[in-house]
Amino acid sequence: MENKMQTKHLDFYYGKKQVLKNVSLDMKERQITALIGPSGCGKTTLLRLLNRMNDVIPEIRLDGDVLLDGENIYAAGVDVVEVRKRVGMVFQQPNPFPKTVFENIAFGPRMMGQKNRLYLEEIVERSLKVAAIWDEVKDNLDKSGLALSGGQQQRLCIARTLAIEPEVILMDEPCSALDPISTLKIEELMQDLKKQYTIVIVTHNMQQAARVSDRTGFLLLGELVEYSETSEIFGRPRDQRTEDYITGRFG
């Protein structure tokens, strides 16, 4: 299986504080990679490094490489906008724009210069269908995205990401603000999405990681303690710290 994304010996600092230590992680194409670990372990930081969302934060320092199809996305001359078109992101809190459902989805293509109304309508419908929310919103495309329920908003945000036709989708605790039924819908959706996309998900919820992911990485204090097949991590953890965490002895 191809490595879609890789981090190599990644060190990351906020000011003087080191939050990631020598993290090397391979994310396989069309698989779901889950990152678990207690709060403050650096898993969200790691995720946000994969599409350079941390760029906006002042006083950060990064050593090591983040590769997308073998190319370092932090190399000089790389266009960060291009990186983000290939690596989309879904956030912890659903964050639709204060615009209509249609405009939320059409936003990405519009920003890339797409003006053709028919094409936009097609891509909006396709994205909403893939995100399994089309039936719920097809009659209300001109209603505000903020008028939807939390679970619908999150699927709307996933559809918004799909509309830019990314190769990788990063999900930062996408279900932590949702009820169990909405969570289930998103998890089912992820299984559909992985046929076409590489997914990296950060989750607080170990059952979720066990249910949805192919490979799981356990982070602790900025260190990637263990990384392997999800069944291995949860079935036969090699490191004592991993075992302690997944059996609920801390975290």
Partner 1 sequence: MSPKIAQRIAKVFIWGGGAITVAILLGIILYILIQGVPVLSLDFLITPPRGGLTGEGGISTAIIGTLYILGVTLAIVIGPGIGAGIYLAEYARNNRFTQIIRYAVGILAGVPSIVFGLFGFTLFVTALRFNFSILSGALSLVCLLLPTLIRTTEEALKTVPRSYREAALATGASKWQTIRHVVLPAAMPGIVTGIILCAGRVVEETACLYVTMGGSAAMPKSILSGGRTLSLHLFYLAMETRAFDKAMGTGAVLIIIIIVINTLTNWLSHRFQVKMRGG
Q: Tell me which residues touch partner 1 (CB under 8 A).
A: 51, 53, 56, 58, 81, 84-85, 88-89, 91, 93, 95-99, 107-108, 110-112, 143-147, 157, 160-161, 163-164
Give the nearest distance from C-beta 160 to partner 1 in angstroms. Answer: 6
Residue 51 or 242: the one with the smaller Cβ distance to partner 1 is 51
* DSSP summary character for residue 144: B
Residue 121 or 165: the one with the smaller Cβ distance to partner 1 is 165
Residue 44 or 242: the one with the smaller Cβ distance to partner 1 is 44
Give the nearest distance from C-beta 84 to partner 1 in angstroms. Answer: 5
Please give, one letter per residue, the 3-state secondary structure of 7-48: EEEEEEEECCEEEEEEEEEEEECCCEEEEECCCCCCHHHHHH
User: What is the arrangement of strands in the sheet containing 71-72, beginning at the earlier edge strand?
Assistant: 71-72, 60-68, 3-14, 17-28, 223-229, 215-220, 32-36, 198-202, 168-172, 87-90
Residue 110 or 238: the one with the smaller Cβ distance to partner 1 is 110
Amino acid at 188: E
User: How remote is the C-alpha of 187 from its chain's centroid?
Assistant: 13
Give the nearest distance from C-beta 58 to partner 1 in angstroms. Answer: 7
Give the nearest distance from C-beta 45 to partner 1 in angstroms. Answer: 14
